[in-house]
Chain A
Amino acid sequence: MDREPVIAVENLRAVYGDATILEKVSFQVYGGEIFVILGGSGCGKSTLLKHVIGLLQPPAGRIVINGVDITDADEDARRRVQQTIGVLFQADALFGSLSLFENIALPLKEYTDLSPEIIHRLVSMKLALVNLAGYDNHMPSELSGGMRKRAAIARAMALDPLFLFFDEPWAGLDPVTAAELDILIRSINTAMGTTIVIVTQELASIFSIGQRVIMLDRDARGVIAEGTPRELKEQTRDPRVVNFFNRQAPAENG
């Protein structure tokens, strides 16, 4: 694995209205790794993700992606960085009025000068990659939740991004579909070398594919643990981490 940090978050502060959700959050993501941001409901995981992908501007702190400080960059520079990013949103965010082909072809038509035939072949490849070969003309509403997730991954990968961000990719999926998604994410990471950042609270899949994890806590308003999934589960004494990994309510831990 390339040990150069490709994403660096430094002293980030995130607010929601008047409330501070995250304070002095710092972490680094290295090239080609599967990095997991873990935490309970309401700890600010998705807000942190929205800051990292440039949808929200933090009131304090820096976010550097591939050497570009997106908190300080002008609109053009930020757009260029965003073109190297693919995002799978929690609710898949496929455009309901477009077919799967049109959904995936949209960024290719917008940002490249490739011929329609090449775009068709690339879209077919992406659909086959996520096991949806032949679903070109289906509308998102005609697919199951798992299929929509996979189609959204294909769209996120349309421009072969350097970074893939997944917001709760396993939410609402059955265990078999979730395991299939794990295999897909791992194969994309291994073969394409794509750096993958996943925001989640699912434990099973973290152990399956996560290489490094940070854990956020709502009361601490920041990172309370960092390491491999196994290190967090077996070596951390912090009761908040222990409770989370053992699926215990705070009182049960005594």
Chain B
Amino acid sequence: MKASSARITVYSLRIEEPEPGDIVVFISGRLSLTEFNSFSSDLRSMLNGRSFHRLTLNLGGITYLDSAGTLALYQLEEEYRERSVPVVLQDASERITGILNLLNRKAHHISPLIPPRKSTHALERIGEATRMMGADFFLVMSFVGKLLTAMLGSFCNPSSIRWREVLFYMKSTGVDGLPIVGLISLLLGLIMAFMSSLQLRQFGAGIYVASLLAMAMVKELGPIMTAIIVAGRSGSAFAAEIGTMIVNDEVNALETMGFEPTRFLAVPKVLASMLVVPLLTIYADLFALLGGLLVGVFGLDLTAHTYIQQTRESIDVSDVFSSLIKAMVFAALIAGIGCQRGFQVRGDAASVGRSTTSAVVSAIFLIIVADSAFAIILHYIG
């Protein structure tokens, strides 16, 4: 009988009954993974409905056998042995016998050494997540301590700072981010000015678009938007860089050479970010105000001079100064948490991915928390 597969028939089955109740199946051709299902069903349909007390599988004609083909034979053997029908494998060539001996027919009966990782109960998961958050908090605090010590040590001895690295990270965090920060800020300014002009124009208060945009951007949105972009661009890069170094044992190599990894790797990144993010924030503010100016001039028929004058009256130096302080704190948080998440990497590439994601999410969370703190502090300072 030919295999009833839609594929090219590569095996054949022939059945004989030399004595009543003694069945011999002659199998020839190729028995592999691709033929597993068709072979198993062909053989079963051939044997179904027959009554026999002994089954012999003659393997003399098999030209190719792999592990799936072997499994098909073993399965049939097991099935009929359970029905108390002895199964004999006969006439196997040396190579086929080699394969049959190589593969363990009872492998699937071997219990796993550890149980499968099951999804746990919701309450258990909440508990575990809470415990992890607590542990994470302590890890972050411990890193903050290390980082502050390293920063203080570096400031006390500025020649120990790796200034070349600082310049490199200033370029990658600041200069390389100019196009995207500029574009997003310009668009943000345009959108805010346009949307607010729709409302304010109804009351003849179009001039206050300049005030609204200046206050919103300089006091709040400029530092926050810049910080979020830097978190996405550079915070994640810091985490991935340090994480990959951990995976490749580069951090261990630093330690064995007597370097303090936090001082060697984190300080240049944090310092560079703290220097460059305030500048990036001013740049973002200017582009957003430019966006507002375009709406003011072309949408509200204001002159450029009037718009700039109104902007200058809406903010003072202290607003710009507090915005720069904010930006500096945000930068320290972004770079710090990026480095901390990088140092937290253990094991494999997936861990680097997790730490990178965590660096961005944690940085954004910390930015918002710090901004809330600033809002309260600045309110009371007046």
Contacts and interface: CB of A to CB of B under 8 A. Distances in A.
Interface in A107-136: 112-114, 118, 120-122, 124-129, 133-136
A118 B71 contact: yes
Given A99-B117, A112-B33, A122-B67, A140 B103 contact: no
B212 interface: no
A113 B102 contact: no
B269 to A, nearest CB: 26
B108 A191 contact: no
A100 to B, nearest CB: 10
B112 A137 contact: yes
Given A99-B117, A193-B95, A128 B104 contact: yes
B99 A135 contact: no
A188 B98 CA distance: 9
A150 to B, nearest CB: 14
B36 A134 contact: no
Nearest to A95: B350
Given A112-B33, A160-B66, A124 B110 contact: yes
A136 B112 contact: yes
A125 B349 contact: no
B32 interface: yes
A11 to B, nearest CB: 32
A233 B348 CA distance: 40
Interface residues of A, number: 33
A190 interface: yes
B107 interface: yes
A68 B101 CA distance: 33
A243 B240 CA distance: 42
A250 interface: no
Contacts of A97: 348, 350
Indicate the member of B70, B110, B111, B351 with the most A CB atoms within 10 Å. B110
Contacts of A191: 95, 98-99, 101-102
Contacts of A160: 32-33, 66-68
B113 interface: yes
A224 B98 CA distance: 36
Interface in B93-142: 95, 98-99, 101-104, 107-108, 110-117
A239 interface: no
Given A114-B36, A193-B95, A129 B102 contact: yes
Interface string A193-218: 10000000000000000000000000
Contacts of B71: 118, 121-122, 125
B350 A96 contact: yes
A138 interface: yes
A192 B99 contact: yes
A134 B104 CA distance: 13
Given A99-B117, A191-B99, A129 B104 contact: yes
A128 B110 contact: yes
A127 B66 CA distance: 15
B33 A159 contact: yes
B347 A96 contact: yes
Interface of B: 32-34, 36-37, 64, 66-68, 70-71, 75, 95, 98-99, 101-104, 107-108, 110-117, 347-351
Given A121-B71, A128-B104, A192-B67, 8 more contacts: A112-B36, A122-B67, A128-B107, A134-B110, A134-B113, A135-B112, A136-B116, A191-B95
Nearest 4 interchain pairs by C-beta: A96-B348, A160-B66, A128-B107, A191-B98
29 contacts: A96-B350, A99-B116, A118-B68, A121-B108, A122-B71, A124-B104, A124-B108, A124-B110, A125-B71, A125-B108, A128-B103, A129-B67, A129-B103, A133-B107, A134-B110, A135-B113, A136-B116, A137-B113, A138-B113, A138-B114, A140-B348, A157-B67, A159-B33, A188-B102, A191-B98, A191-B99, A192-B67, A192-B99, A193-B95
